[in-house]
Amino acid sequence: MINVGGYTLSWFGGAVALSVVLVLLSALVVFWGRKSWARLGAVVVLVAMLAQVSLLKPAPKESPKTIVVLQDQTASADTQAQALWLKTLKNAVGETATLKLFPLNQTDQGTRVIPPLKAALQSVPEDRLAGAVIISDTLWHDAKGDLSAFRANVPIHVLSTFQNAPDRSVVLDKPSSYQLVGKPFALSVTVRDTTQPEGAEIPLNLYHGDQKITYRVRNGEKTQIPLNTDRPGRTPYLLATPPLDKEAKLQNNAAIFTLTVFRDRWRVMMVSGSPHPSTRAFRSLFKQDPNMDLVHFSILRRMDSVDFTPPDEMALIPFPVDELFLNRIHDFDVIVMDRYANLGLLQPIHLQELRAFIQKGGAFLLMTGPEGAKDDSLLVSLRDILRLNPAPQGFQDAPITPLLGQEHPITQPFLGKPLPLLRGYLPATLPAEAEPLLETPEKTPVLGIWPDTPQHGRMAWVATDDLWTWRRPQGEEPPPFNTLMRRLMHWLLREPDLEAPPMICQQDNAALTCTPRGKAPKDPVHLYHPEGVWQPWTPDADGVYRAPLNRAGLWAVRVQQTLIPIPFDMGPPAEWTPVPPSGALLAKHNGGRHRDDPSATLSVTFDRGLSERLSSQTLIFDRPSAITMGQGEAWPWMAPALAALMGALLLWGWRRG
């Protein structure tokens, strides 16, 4: 094609035709001389006819208009109202414009409309863009200043699906926090009720384990709720307000708050019954931890020892049993008794204080060797708490290769790896509430732990005095002794990362399945529904707990003292943070209109100059400036004219020849 003065010269096979013309021109000039010019002109006209030469002129045509439609895809969207709005919009636009749909998705910061709106507008060429329509509940989390400052070059209309339906919400200042043991802490929470005036009283329930506390809080006002910080560890709290009648969505009626209480320094008391290689191993390990303050005593001379050395010549100090076990025992976080037989040092009053320490939540670690089988061992003295039953055969002085018992975060680094040998152990039977973490091939426990209960704090028992031999590195791995005992001590100190939930819960679409970890829980299990109801939950015949998740919202499982949150179809937490509808603000500052009745009729126009005279139900858009230049034939009689010209040239050339 060749453009000349706005007209386009077009031929079919132009390159071939040009080659033929050049060849014929050369031949005629050589053989026929100057008298061949008439014949040459006739040949050129013939070639032009064969090449279908035509002269075209431009035919201007208005380009198709495009309207960007941003459709709400968030968890709070009203899909039925949106479908109705979209149908109404399509009927109003008809064939006058093309609707280009874009999703409005939620983010971790909630629903933000400005970024996706900018991206959608930029995706359409400016000379074809007529405007934008946003179909949403307009509960956007963009800052009000960002909404009012945003300016587009085209009108932006908002078709709102927002309905001021009955709704209650629980809003936390933050979902988790940390605090030192014994320091006061208050949880900041705001409850909102759209059916009540500001300041009206609303019930708020606080669930912690099997405890329930009901507060009367004021609508829309922050409330400070004190929480207990007496014991270290991570504690989840469920805060819920009862749903209203006909409340459609319950995702924001409850919230989980997690408080982690910790100590800046852990205080550990360790008492070794006699000198032993394990004493130095444990002492060195505890000293390596910068957060532990260790107080360690080794009994070097028994009360019944026969020794004629005068006391004033001994470089030993008396064991301060009264100071440690009567006056200062509750100053410690963990008490470690290493191969300790009673030896007449701990009197009943001391043992009673040790029991009280454990019963009030203190952590206790007992490590036994051959002395554990004797009548004066702590296994016998503390039988009412430990409920350990040593086997009658006593300490087994035979090598074994222990195996992992019940799966637990303490022993997680050893999964799939062989463990070193142990040269002896004390066989015993664990009570039902204890968990065996290391076992012999015959399933006899070598390491057992007792999780917290209302009756006692955390406890652990090591049935061998040979763990110190695990201090040798295993290839590139750290020594098993260091890894195991450090994780065991941190579990006793309630390190959150080493917590093992009593149940493993999984969601499969709308089905909840919870499998007890290890033995079935003795305490009843309860399931919290988003409607604000706790129900007893019984397992199926295979011991697995199953329930359908038939309502979007926050579910929870309560077993023993543990609360397991189960969020279902919740979306990001910010999505349910109460915000006022802000669609009218965005439309006002961008020359658009805000409509909130999906059942109303709509009409559209593409002339912004008529805005003052049109109905409020009319959406006004820009008329794009783009023009598509089509092509039409300028001379339809060109082929007959070329034929006549060719005949005249041939006749003229024949007469001259």
Same structural domain, 363 and 272: yes
Q: Using CB atoms within 10 Å of the CB of residue 235, give its burial: 0 to 12 exposed, 13 to 18 middle, 19+ buried.
A: buried
List, for residues 285-312, the tens digit of each pLDDT value. 888 888 889 998 888 766 555 566 665 6
List, for residues 194-233, the tens digit of each pLDDT value. 888 999 999 999 998 778 899 999 999 999 999 988 888 8
Examine residue 226 and state whether it is found in any structural domain, yes or no: no
Position 187 confidence tier, pLDDT thresholds 50, 70, 90: very high
Here the CATH number for the domain that contains residue 592 is 3.40.50
> What pLDDT is stored for residue 11 in this prediction?
47
List, for residues 520-558, the tens digit of each pLDDT value. 777 789 999 988 889 999 999 998 999 999 888 889 999
- Helix axis angle, 277-288 to 480-492, nearest 10°: 60
Number of structural domains in the chain: 4
> What pLDDT is stored for residue 55 in this prediction?
55
List, for residues 317-326, the tens digit of each pLDDT value. 778 889 999 9
Does the pLDDT of residue 47 top 90, yes or no?
no
Same structural domain, 275 and 341: yes
Where is pLDDT greater, at 457 or 570? 457
Does the pLDDT of residue 173 top 90, yes or no?
no
Does the pLDDT of residue 7 top 50, yes or no?
no
CB 157 within 8 A of CB 602: no
> What pLDDT is stored for residue 574 in this prediction?
64
Q: What is the mean pLDDT of residues 380-391?
A: 88
CB 147 within 8 A of CB 134: no
Which run of H or of E encompasses 553?
A: strand 553-559
Does the pLDDT of residue 445 top 80, yes or no?
yes
Cα distance between residue 345 and residue 299, in whole Å = 10
Where is pLDDT greater, at 68 or 300? 68
Q: What is the mean pLDDT of residues 631-654?
A: 61
User: Which segment of 22-26, 107-111, 144-148, 293-297 scores lowest on mean pLDDT?
Assistant: 22-26
Examine residue 618 and state whether it is found in any structural domain, yes or no: yes
CB 573 within 8 A of CB 175: yes
Beta-carbon-side half-sphere exposure of residue 531 (alpha carbons within 13 Å): 9
User: Which segment of 121-130, 179-188, 218-227, 561-570 scores lowest on mean pLDDT?
Assistant: 561-570
> What pLDDT is stored for residue 80 in this prediction?
86
Same structural domain, 13 and 101: no
- Which of the listed ranges 75-79, 346-350, 602-606 does the model predict with the highest average pLDDT? 346-350
List, for residues 500-517, the tens digit of each pLDDT value. 888 889 998 889 999 988
* Residues contacting residue 121 through CB under 8 Å, at least 6 positions apart: 68, 129, 132, 152, 154
Does the pLDDT of residue 65 top 60, yes or no?
yes
> What pLDDT is stored for residue 13 in this prediction?
45
> What pLDDT is stored for residue 195 in this prediction?
87
Same structural domain, 397 and 334: yes
Q: What is the mean pLDDT of residues 129-154?
A: 84
Does the pLDDT of residue 589 top 60, yes or no?
yes
Does the pLDDT of residue 633 top 60, yes or no?
no
CB 437 within 8 A of CB 500: no
Examine residue 189 and state whether it is found in any structural domain, yes or no: no
Here the CATH number for the domain that contains residue 275 is 3.40.50.880
Position 137 confidence tier, pLDDT thresholds 50, 70, 90: confident
Residue where one domain finishes, among candidates 472, 492, 512 = 492
What is the residue type of 373? Answer: A
Same structural domain, 621 and 633: no
Same structural domain, 289 and 397: yes
> Which one, of 356, 562, 303, 606, lies nearest residue 451 by Cα?
562
Prediction pTM value? 0.67
Same structural domain, 611 and 646: no
Examine residue 575 and state whether it is found in any structural domain, yes or no: no
Same structural domain, 95 and 37: no
Same structural domain, 379 and 464: yes
Same structural domain, 390 and 522: no
Position 12 confidence tier, pLDDT thresholds 50, 70, 90: very low
Give me the percent of the chain exceeding a pLDDT of 90. 28
What are 619's strand-pairing partners? 604
CA distances 615 to 67, 91, 154, 651, Å, are 20, 17, 19, 74
Residue with tokens 């976080």: 333
> What pLDDT is stored for residue 205 in this prediction?
94
Same structural domain, 57 and 68: no
Examine residue 543 and state whether it is found in any structural domain, yes or no: yes
User: Which segment of 350-364, 417-431, 618-632 scores lowest on mean pLDDT?
Assistant: 618-632
Range(s) of the domain holding residue 70: 64-162+581-625
CB 157 within 8 A of CB 130: no
> What pLDDT is stored for residue 363 in this prediction?
93
Q: What is the mean pLDDT of the chain?
A: 81
Distance from chain centroid for Cα 305 = 63
Same structural domain, 299 and 321: yes
Examine residue 232 and state whether it is found in any structural domain, yes or no: no
Examine residue 98 and state whether it is found in any structural domain, yes or no: yes
Examine residue 359 and state whether it is found in any structural domain, yes or no: yes
